[in-house]
Amino acid sequence: MTEIKKNHVIEQQRYLSDDLILYEILIRLPVKSILRFKSVSKLWYSTLSSSKFANYYLTKFRISSPSAPVNTLFIESCRNYYLFSYDDAKNSGKLKDKCVKLDIDFGVEGYFNFTGCCNGLICLTHDSDKFFVLWNPATRKLHKYESDAFLNPFNILNPNPPIATGFGYVSSEDDYKYVRILTLSLETVPVSSNIVHIYSIRKNKWRKIDFDDNAVFPYGQPVLFNEKLYWAGYRKQGATKFNHHIFCFDLRLEKINVIRLNLDDFVYLGVMGGCLIKLNYEKNKGHKLKMQIMDKSPMIETSFRFPKGMVLDISSQMVAYTKTGSFFVTGSSIEVVKSGNAHRTALWLVDAGMKPMKCTTLLKFTDSIIISSYVPSLLSPFPIEELSEAQRR
């Protein structure tokens, strides 16, 4: 009898509940491993495919925190997409081997422009602006969102208005939002203005916000910080003069804020160590770069110079690599060849804390590139009401 009780206790000790396995053990595995475990049972398939598990996986280790180190970059170049993994503690071997091309078939003709990346979801806008897609490279799921009917009135008013797009998440609503800013210029209307279109993924619908002040022309890629989208931009002041601004759209409040900058040079925005960073590139002053932390009071400022051969342009970007205090920068790299000077687009790793500043060339491309920090996730690109077992497969 005693032996039977001992065996029973041993069996109890060996047993682990499904909840313990799923939410305490599997949650610590990479996305690829979790996807394989879906085939274990119907319960595991249902749980691992659920939005509850996907959200729990995302927040468990705070991988979506703005202060988390950047280990992987999503890169777009010449209609190709890549994931580049970099860890300076394990950077042995060829860096090109760590840049993996992603295979994706959108099922439509035309070119997609990178709009944003949030919590493992990539947002791309078709060059016709008639639809955008959400894509999860880790799960290889893709969904297209239509928008041409919403744009029809503007096709008559201005066939090709300047458009800026962004994408982000609102935690209080558990909603992802796509933002499109149309700039109606002086050539088409008496007073230039901005119109903001917002698409709620949760509600699966569009809405519009008019901005009555003078129009700001956003340029470059937006920066997502504290559930707000920031663009560098400018306002026209006469025929040839421009005033530089920062265009901010609050995704939660759905309100616009414009910050005037007393600058004459390019402005770049980024996030480093959980702070919003503004870079002012003074090309005519020896390629001097002035860095300011915007959300600190008083504003913290430092400056440094890029080495010879490194040139930033209007399409350059900065993405923080906070694990070491370094950051990724894109720009033009000038190389000397037999026929003269050749320009390439380069991805650099910059350590401004070293004296002299250390700049390491990581990758080179023949065409312009767009980069974004990336974390793999299990999130579905489908609207919540359209989720079904068939779509998850």
How many CB atoms sit inside 10 A of residue 47's CB? 19
**pLDDT for position 284:** 61
pTM of the shown model = 0.84
Q: What's the rounded mean pLDDT across residues 186-208? A: 77
Q: What is the pLDDT of residue 159?
A: 60
Map residue 375 onto helix, strand or coil. Answer: coil
Asked, for residue 309, whether it belongs to a domain, the answer is yes
| Three-class DSSP category at 23 | helix
Q: Would you call the peptide bond into 298 cis, given omega within 30 degrees of 0 as the criterion?
A: yes
What is the rounded distance in angstroms from the CA atom of residue 116 to the CA atom of residue 222?
8
pLDDT score for 278: 84
Per-residue CA distances from 306 to 251, 326, 354, 356, 357 (Å)? 35, 14, 13, 10, 8
Q: How many domains does the chain have?
A: 1
The mean of the pLDDT values for the chain is: 78
Residue 213 lies in a domain: no
pLDDT at 393 over 50: no
pLDDT tens digits, one per residue of 246-284: 889 999 999 988 888 776 666 788 887 778 888 877 666
> Over the stretch 319-338, which tens digit does the pLDDT of each residue have?
877 667 788 888 877 665 55
Whether 149 maps to a domain, the answer reads no
Decide: helix, strand or coil at residue 232: strand
Average pLDDT of the segment spanning 85-108: 77
Highest mean pLDDT among 131-135, 153-157, 189-193: 131-135
Mean pLDDT lowest among 100-104, 170-174, 274-278, 319-323: 319-323
393 vs 389: CA distance, rounded Å = 6
Phi, psi of 278 (to 5 degrees): -115, 130
Q: Say how far apart CA 65 and CA 72 lie, in whole Å.
A: 14
- Where in the sequence is the domain holding 360, given as residue range(s)? 66-103+266-374
Report the alpha-carbon distance of residue 107 to residue 112 in Å, rounded.
12
Distance between CA atoms of 276 and 295, rounded to whole angstroms?
A: 6
Residue 318, φ and ψ in degrees, nearest 5 = -130, 130
Residue at 87 is within a domain: yes
Among 1-10, 52-61, 84-93, top mean pLDDT goes to 52-61
What backbone torsions phi and psi does residue 392 show, to the nearest 5 degrees? -75, -20
End-to-end C-alpha distance for the chain, whole angstroms: 50
Give domain status of residue 278, yes or no: yes
In a domain, 353, yes or no: yes
Residue spans of alpha helices (H) in 72-172: 148-157
> What's the average model confidence in pLDDT over 73-77?
92
Let me know if residue 336 belongs to a domain: yes
